[in-house]
């Protein structure tokens, strides 16, 4: 697997495959033989699934923040703001409605379904994200999808807590809703933002501006240390650690924007992320081989197709209405909302912390959507972005 991490990105450039597709296929092939007694079913290994997905996501968030060249700003991040403020809530609401009306889910389970489908995945979206730090590969589509993936993994969390509250019957009580709004929305978001800013500024000073600048060590392992510090400290004060890690990475990057050490930290973070992603996706393939989708019906599959091909694209186009981006860029921003590891984490977290009853069918629907997204977006993303680059060059 370590060799595959090194070889695959180069070897797959000439074929219409991506590393995630290959990993899922390997998992299906290996576990279909029946030689392994281990069954990687996320419904059985619920806590392990949550923790592994959590680790992969926070490492990917550090990498995403480090490689963004563009400094934070409302105007510069206009596409990001539109996708987060408009597209994400619309996606959650529409998906939850499909789950409730189309699949017969309870309100709580429908909300969890919607929240799980909210994140544009920072892990599986490598092919649509910007390049490494200082690479200059930061067109509006790649920037918008990278920054959206970095932030919506945290901003969708309040909706997961809303689903957990609904499962406990708390939506009918004023106290439950007040606690959700003040703590799960207000405090946790502010704490994540503030802690990420403070930790990132502090680490940026230690790395680049102190007399014994840690960047002189040239050790990319610092990226992993920064990830774990930001996440752990923020969780200790009951903030959103996902948000803190991404903001921390942004602050580190922009404390000395053009320093070459950012490349070393990004490369190390990227290697660890790919290794863990491959492990998780091989296990996901194994779960597919062992019957994760066994309870899937044709109605469930149709809803999954609608989520990938209708809900997110339409929500994205509504969000980008009135922007100054060309239509082809708006279409790509709307369509390339990849679902993956973030969805696995949110679903596992919600089920582990709330009483949603039998989750077998929900896992089947979400698993199908993730598989569909891995295949469809994996095969189409690179050609579509390459075509956009050629058109942009021709128009210049």
pLDDT of residue 389: 78
- Mean pLDDT value across residues 131-148: 77
User: CA dist 312 to 83, 277, 389, Å?
Assistant: 10, 23, 23
**Cβ atoms < 10 Å from Cβ of 47:** 9
Q: Which residue has the higher pLDDT, 303 or 3?
A: 303
Residue 330 corresponds to which tokens in the numbers above? 């708006």
**Cβ atoms < 10 Å from Cβ of 120:** 32
Cα 321 to the chain's mean position, in Å?
Answer: 24
Residue 384: pLDDT band (50, 70, 90) is: confident
Domains and CATH numbers, the chain: 41-130+137-395 (1.20.1530.20)
109 and 356 in contact (C-beta within 8 Å)?
Answer: yes
Cα 134 to the chain's mean position, in Å?
Answer: 23
| DSSP secondary structure string for all residues of 6-29 | HHHHHHGGGTT--HHHHHHHHHHH
pLDDT digits (tens, 9 = 90+) for 58-106: 999 999 898 888 888 888 899 999 999 999 999 999 999 999 999 999 9
- Mean pLDDT value across residues 263-281: 88
| DSSP secondary structure string for all residues of 25-94 | HHHHHHHHTS-------TTTSHHHHHHHHHHHHHHHHHHHHHT--SPP-TTTTHHHHHIIIIIHHHHHHH
Burial of 212 from C-beta contacts in 10 A (0-12 / 13-18 / 19+): exposed
Q: Which residue has the higher pLDDT, 52 or 384?
A: 52
379 and 323 in contact (C-beta within 8 Å)?
Answer: no
Polymer length in residues for the chain: 396
pLDDT of residue 269: 87
Residue 32 has pLDDT above 80, yes or no: yes
**pTM, entire model:** 0.92
Spell out a b/e string for 53-88, using b for 16 or more CB atoms within 10 Å of the CB, else e: bbbbbbbbbbbbbbbbbbeeeeeebbbbbbbbebbb
Contacts of 103 (CB under 8 A, 6+ apart): 110, 113, 299, 300, 303, 361, 365
Residue 12 has pLDDT above 60, yes or no: no
Q: Which residue has the higher pLDDT, 129 or 368?
A: 368
pLDDT digits (tens, 9 = 90+) for 322-335: 888 889 989 999 99
């Amino acid at each position: 697997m370590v060799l595959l991490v090194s070889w695959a990105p180069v070897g797959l450039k000439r074929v219409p495959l991506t590393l995630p597709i290959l990993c899922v296929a390997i998992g299906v092939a290996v576990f279909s033989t029946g030689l392994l007694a281990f069954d990687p079913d996320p419904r059985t290994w619920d806590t392990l699934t949550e923790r592994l997905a959590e680790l992969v996501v926070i490492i990917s968030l550090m990498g995403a923040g480090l490689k963004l060249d563009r400094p934070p700003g409302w105007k510069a991040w206009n596409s990001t703001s539109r996708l987060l403020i408009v597209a994400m809530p619309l996606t959650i609401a529409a998906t939850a409605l499909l789950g409730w009306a189309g699949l017969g889910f309870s309100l709580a389970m429908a909300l969890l379904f919607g929240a799980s489908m909210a994140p544009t995945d920072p892990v599986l979206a490598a092919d649509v994200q910007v390049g490494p730090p200082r690479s200059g590969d930061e067109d509006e589509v790649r920037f918008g999808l990278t920054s959206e993936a970095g932030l919506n993994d945290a901003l969708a969390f309040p909706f997961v807590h809303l689903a957990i509250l609904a499962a406990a019957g708390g939506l009918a009580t004023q106290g439950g809703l007040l606690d959700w709004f003040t703590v799960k929305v207000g405090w946790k978001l502010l704490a994540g933002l503030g802690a990420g800013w403070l930790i990132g500024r502090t680490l940026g000073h230690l790395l680049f501006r102190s007399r014994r600048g840690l960047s002189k060590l040239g050790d990319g392992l610092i990226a992993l240390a920064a990830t774990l510090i930001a996440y752990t400290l923020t969780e200790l004060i009951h903030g959103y650690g996902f948000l803190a890690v991404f903001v921390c990475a942004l602050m580190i990057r922009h404390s000395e924007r053009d320093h070459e050490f950012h490349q070393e930290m990004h490369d190390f973070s990227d290697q660890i992320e790919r290794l863990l992603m491959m492990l998780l996706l091989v296990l996901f393939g194994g779960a597919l081989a062992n019957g994760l989708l066994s309870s899937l019906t044709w109605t469930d599959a149709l809803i999954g197709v609608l989520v990938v091909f209708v809900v997110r694209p339409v929500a994205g186009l509504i969000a980008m209405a009135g922007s100054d981006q060309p239509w082809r860029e708006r279409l790509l921003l709307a369509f390339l909302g990849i679902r993956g590891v973030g969805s696995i984490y949110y679903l596992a977290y919600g089920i582990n912390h709330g009483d949603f009853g039998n989750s077998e069918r929900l896992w089947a629907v979400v698993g199908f959507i993730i598989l569909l997204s891995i295949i469809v977006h994996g095969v189409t993303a690179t050609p579509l972005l390459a075509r956009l680059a050629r058109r942009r060059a021709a128009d210049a």
